[in-house]
Structures are given as C-alpha cells and as structure tokens.
Structure 1
Amino acid sequence: MTTPDPLTGPDGRPVTLGPVGQEIVFENDQVRVWEIELTPGQSQPWHHHVNPYMVIALEAADNRIDSIKGGDPRLVHEAVGGVVYREPGEIHMLTNHGDSRYRCRLIELKCLGENLV
C-alpha cells in the first residue's frame, strides 16, 4: 500500500484539510447542515467537498475562494438570502475579505454523494 503524497498549498507549505463548516446544526442520512461564520479577514481552512452542496447566505459578505492548485482567486459577493448550488470539486479555502461578518448555512446532499446507493 502506498502512502499518498502530502498536500501542499500554493505557497508550498503542508496543508491539513479541515471540515467544510464550523458546526453541524442538523444531520440525517440524506443531508448534513453546517453553520459557517467568518469575521472580516477570517478563513475557513482548506477543505474538500465530497457531496454536492448548497450555500444559503444569512449575512452578506465579499468572499474569496482560493484553490489549492493556486492561480487567481474567485471573488464572490454573497447577498443575504442568496443561494448557490455546487458540485464537489477541488480543495479550496474560503476567506471573508469584506468588512462585514459572513454567516451561512451549507447543506451537503449526502444522498447524492457519500450515501448514494
């Protein structure tokens, strides 16, 4: 059995993956709901989504999404009540680069990912 290469960030430093959110507020066999709250300048650590997911913004902010592969970040404004759907994808980090608190609920669709029959 081979050991996978350690992950490194765009700056070459080792990366340890974190959870996709900060607190699970609901979970069953079909979905997992996370709470995420970021103050200005705060980041959600490098993470990887294994399930399709939806994000519902509860408090708006300007956010930055960095890919572990490097390159230009994606800058996104998440308005209050805004909803986005995303497929599982690359390892990334989310940073609040605005001047207001960001808060959302992230809903993982386990029934379309880890619990797909």
Structure 2
Amino acid sequence: MSEDPVQTNPDHYTVVFENDRVRVLEYRDKPGHRSTMHIHPDSVMITASTFRRRLSSGTGSMEVELPAGSARWLPAQEHYGENIGDTDTHAFFVELKEPGPAAAAREGGVLGPGLPDR
C-alpha cells in the first residue's frame, strides 16, 4: 500500500514547513539508497544538489539527472526512487494540498519531473 513518504521513508524525508495549503519536504540520501513505494501530490521540486536517480512505478521506470538549483513541476504520482549516481540527493518538495482539476485524469499515468516551464 502506498503512503506518505515521511511515513514510509522517515530517515530521508523531513517536513520543514506546513500550513493549510502546502507542505514542504526536504529529501536527502546517499548513492545506492533505494526508497520504498510512496505517493506525492502535485508538487514543485527544487534541487539543492546535482543528482542522478531512477524512478519506478507500476507503469515503468525512468532515469533522471538534474542539476543543483533546478525547479521542476512534479505531477501527482506513486513511485520509488534509487540514487544511481555518485553524489548525494538533496531536494525540496513543495506539495500542494488541493488537487488540480486534471488530477483524476492523470492518476497512475505520470512518472518523474516535468520539463522546466520557460
């Protein structure tokens, strides 16, 4: 059963801010670490380090490499991740508490961060 990443991976996810509209999580891991399955609502991910990861779900997997200082949209999704690089992963997630109008249509079909909106 999928759950909140703070509950499924408490040594890696920390709540750093929360109010009635958003929750901000900090995530850290080391090369070789693999998280357990968890869910994220619609979020903005901000990378504090450069890292390489493999994200996997029931619909497949993908590898991502992101530089420090990136901000990416992360549509609601269920996944687990693995640090497949040589550097620590350090990122922040600004989770939205209100689902967007298309959230139901995306359920189960999206994996990984989106491209930057520039």
Q: What TM-score do you get using the length of structure 1 for normalisation?
A: 0.72
**One-letter amino acid matched to 1:99:** D
* Structure 2 residue 21 is the aligned partner of structure 1 residue 30: yes
> Number of matched residues?
95
Task: Choose from 89, 92, 110 the match for 2:79.
Answer: 92
Give the Cα–Cα distance (whole angstroms) in 2 for the partners of residues 99 and 83 of structure 1: 21
Question: In proportion to residue count, which structure has more helix?
Answer: 2
* Structure 2 residue 5 is the aligned partner of structure 1 residue 19: yes
Contact kept, 8 Å, 1:52 with 1:109, in 2: the verdict is: yes
State the partner residue of 2:50. Answer: 60
SS in 2 for 1:45: coil
Name structure 1 gaps, 5 residues minimum.
1-6, 8-15
Give the Cα–Cα distance (whole angstroms) in 2 for the partners of residues 22 and 93 of structure 1: 13
* Structure 2 residue 63 is the aligned partner of structure 1 residue 75: yes
1:43 Cα deviation (Å)? Answer: 2.1
Give the Cα–Cα distance (whole angstroms) in 2 for the partners of residues 24 and 48 of structure 1: 15
1:23 Cα deviation (Å)? Answer: 0.5
Identity %: 30
Give the Cα–Cα distance (whole angstroms) in 2 for the partners of residues 56 and 82 of structure 1: 6
Give the Cα–Cα distance (whole angstroms) in 2 for the partners of residues 106 and 86 of structure 1: 9
RMSD: 2.0
4+ residue segments displaced more than 3 Å: none
